[in-house]
């Protein structure tokens, strides 16, 4: 299938909801739902294995007709059909084609356009009037440390020297009516900005969060955009039109003019100002990020549309329930890995995939082998890249006859092409890694102390070993032939298939 696309500008979150409605991808829930645990439980059950609907909750307990905000939207990017719709592709586009598009989509850009005002300025709340509890922020999971208002918002910061803005996705908990402690790491782009502001002697950094806009904002904010590239430029390229930005009321940052809600403030970056945050049900499918002091947004202003929609997401993929992050990461982390391999000069890469159940921590690479040791080159290139900070822990490399989107094929390759005694299993110890991984010792998950988690990475080389001697009895092949019938035999039987009264052959 061609990956040619027709860029789609939906205008705002409401335009995206209309598109989802037209495509039969949205379910509006009018029955009363409790923001406390019930809403999150419904979202987790409904998302399925990338085949559940997007959900718009219209009737939330304690947030009735006279409330500042009455609706919560979630699940918009928890399926490949909706991801294709976002990218301007037919809904049945195979994830393989989405990965190929993902290889270039983050490197293109259409600069944003500054406008004087927009719908997000319809309501402006400042100072003592700020009250985060006026929004139906879910207690997504019983085990969470609190109500998380930042789960899928675009967190905007900027480099104090270059002025280049970054838009990322980070978790943030409501600690009081005007405080949001967030989880961030020094190796992330927001961490780079924090370090730069600290080096200039500042104890706080301007920050803004845009909640609820076109899906490209969330998609790009959670993707590995190269340092120095503004996410707004990439969003513009995806939608095929510039993003209209307005200046914030109390900080020198810009946000989408038609966002549903914008939270402005200053992030306290002096440890003395931190407040308690965590734990949270994280992307690993486990509770992670212990309750501890974290950098905190001190909210100075909230602007929002009239009757705004709060955008959020249930984090954490598990078997049978894939999160929005898991689905998006499966595409963008695979695309990024493929680009890393290309830049490193690794030849013969024919496909890369990161299954959504683990969001790119396990990576599958298909290659056309031309020399021995090629799989090890794949792993070394990935592990030596900054993209591997919280991904690519386990790398499995297979030959080009193995479909990496079919785990049965990968499993078969691991079973019969891996010989641990022939260096087909390689461990790279003590590398940087995700501080949220529960398989890492508790001490080594201390990101505050070490700046990162600690991973012992593994390569599984499930390719046919080119170090084996060619077998003259096999015509010079290193492995015996498989049991699959010869093409002539297959064609002869297929010609009689209808006569035999059998269903379509299971494999071509």
Q: Smallest Cα–Cα separation from 77: which of 280, 177, 220?
A: 220
Q: Where in the chain is the domain with CATH 2.30.110.10?
A: 2-311
What's the start-to-end Cα distance of the chain, in Å? Answer: 18
Phi, psi of 320 (to 5 degrees): 85, -5
Q: How far apart are CA 46 and CA 319, in angstroms?
A: 13
362 DSSP β-pair partners: 394
Q: Note the CATH architecture for domain 324-462.
A: 3-Layer(aba) Sandwich (3.40)
Q: Which pLDDT does position 495 carry in this prediction?
A: 92
What is the structure's pLDDT at 442?
A: 85
Contact indicator for 431, 392 with CB cutoff of 8 Å = no
Sign of dihedral through CA atoms 387, 391, 397, 401? negative
Q: Which residues contact 468 (CB under 8 A, 6 or more apart)?
A: 478, 479
* pLDDT at res. 474: 86
| Dist CA 122 CA 423 (whole Å) | 63
Query: Is residue 227 exposed (0-12), middle (13-18) or buried (19+ Cβ within 10 Å)?
Result: exposed
Q: Write the DSSP symbol of residue 459.
A: E
Q: Interior CA angle at 118 toward 12 and 222, to 5°? A: 45
Which pLDDT score, from 0 to 100, does residue 3 have? Answer: 53
Answer whether CATH 3.90.1300.10 is correct for domain 2-311: no
Q: Are 375 and 414 in contact (CB under 8 A)?
A: no
pLDDT tens for each residue of the chain, 508 residues long: 445 788 989 999 999 999 999 999 999 999 999 999 999 999 999 999 999 999 999 999 999 999 999 999 999 999 999 999 999 999 999 999 999 999 988 778 999 999 999 999 999 999 999 999 999 999 999 999 999 999 999 999 999 998 888 899 999 999 999 999 998 876 677 878 888 898 899 999 999 999 999 999 999 888 877 777 888 999 999 999 999 999 999 999 999 999 999 999 999 999 999 999 999 999 899 998 789 999 999 999 999 999 999 999 999 999 999 999 999 999 999 999 999 999 999 999 999 999 999 988 999 999 999 999 999 999 999 999 988 888 999 999 999 999 999 999 999 999 999 999 999 999 999 998 888 888 888 888 877 778 788 899 999 999 999 999 988 988 888 999 999 999 999 999 999 999 999 987 777 6
C-alpha neighbours within 13 Å on the C-beta side of residue 256: 31
SS3 74: strand
Q: Evaluate whether 313 touches 151 at the Cβ level (below 8 Å).
A: yes
pTM score, whole prediction = 0.92
User: Which residues are registered as beta bridge partners of 211?
Assistant: 261
Domain with CATH 3.40.1670.10 in the chain: 324-462
CA 428 distance to own-chain centroid: 25
pLDDT for res 187: 62
Q: Quote the distance between the C-alpha of residue 154 and its chain's center.
A: 13
What the block records as the tokens of 337 is: 């890995």
CA 120/CA 256 separation, integer angstroms:
8
Give the Cα separation of 63 and 70 in Å (integer).
5
Of the candidates 91, 101, 98, the one whose C-alpha atom is nearest the C-alpha of residue 405 is 98
> Strands across the sheet with 309-311, in order?
26-29, 54-57, 71-74, 309-311
Cα atoms found within 13 Å of the Cα of residue 3, Cβ hemisphere only = 13
């Amino acid at each position: 299938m061609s990956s040619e696309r027709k860029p789609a500008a939906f205008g705002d979150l409401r335009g995206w909801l209309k598109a989802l409605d037209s495509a039969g991808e949205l379910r509006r829930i009018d029955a009363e739902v409790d923001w406390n645990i019930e809403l999150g439980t419904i979202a987790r059950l409904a998302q399925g294995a990338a085949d559940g609907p997007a959900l718009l909750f219209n009737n939330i307990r304690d947030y009735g007709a006279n409330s500042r905000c009455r609706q919560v939207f979630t699940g918009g990017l928890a399926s490949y059909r909706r991801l294709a719709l976002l990218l301007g592709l037919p809904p049945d586009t195979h994830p393989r084609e989405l990965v190929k598009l993902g290889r270039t989509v983050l490197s293109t850009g259409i600069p944003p356009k500054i406008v004087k005002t927009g719908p997000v300025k319809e309501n402006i709340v400042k100072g003592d009037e700020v009250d985060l509890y006026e929004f139906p922020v879910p207690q997504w999971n019983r085990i969470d440390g609190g109500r998380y208002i930042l789960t899928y918002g675009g967190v905007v910061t900027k480099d104090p020297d270059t002025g280049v803005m970054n838009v990322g996705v980070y978790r943030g908990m409501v600690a009081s009516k005007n405080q949001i402690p967030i989880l961030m790491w020094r190796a992330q782009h927001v961490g780079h900005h924090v370090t730069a502001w600290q080096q200039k002697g500042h104890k706080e950094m301007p920050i803004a969060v845009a909640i609820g806009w076109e899906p490209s904002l969330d998609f790009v904010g959670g993707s590995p955009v190269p340092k120095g590239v503004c996410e707004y430029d990439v969003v513009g390229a995806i939608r095929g039109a510039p993003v209209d930005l307005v200046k914030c009321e109390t900080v020198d940052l810009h946000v989408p003019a038609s966002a549903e809600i914008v939270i402005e403030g200053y992030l306290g970056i002096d440890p003395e100002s931190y407040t308690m945050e965590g734990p949270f049900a994280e992307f690993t499918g486990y509770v992670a990020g212990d309750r501890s002091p974290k950098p905190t947004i001190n909210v100075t202003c909230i602007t929002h549309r009239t009757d705004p929609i709060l955008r959020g997401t249930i984090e954490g993929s598990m078997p049978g329930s894939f999160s929005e992050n898991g689905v998006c990461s499966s595409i963008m982390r695979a695309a990024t890995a493929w680009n890393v391999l290309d830049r490193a000069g690794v030849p013969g890469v024919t496909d890369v995939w990161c299954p959504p159940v683990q969001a790119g921590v396990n990576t599958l690479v298909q290659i056309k082998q031309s020399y021995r040791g090629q799989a090890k080159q794949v792993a070394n290139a990935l592990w030596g890249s900054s993209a591997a900070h919280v991904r690519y822990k386990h790398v499995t490399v297979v030959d080009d006859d193995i479909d990496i989107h079919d785990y049965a094929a990968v499993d078969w390759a691991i079973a019969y092409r891996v010989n641990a005694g022939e260096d087909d299993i390689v461990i790279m110890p003590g590398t940087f890694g995700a501080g949220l991984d529960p398989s890492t010792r508790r001490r080594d998950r201390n990101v505050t102390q070490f700046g990162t988690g600690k991973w012992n990475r593994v390569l599984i080389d499930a390719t046919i070993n080119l170090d084996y001697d060619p077998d003259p009895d096999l015509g010079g092949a290193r492995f015996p032939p498989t049991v699959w019938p010869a093409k002539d035999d297959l064609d002869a039987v297929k010609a009689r298939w209808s006569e035999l009264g059998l269903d379509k052959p299971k494999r071509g």
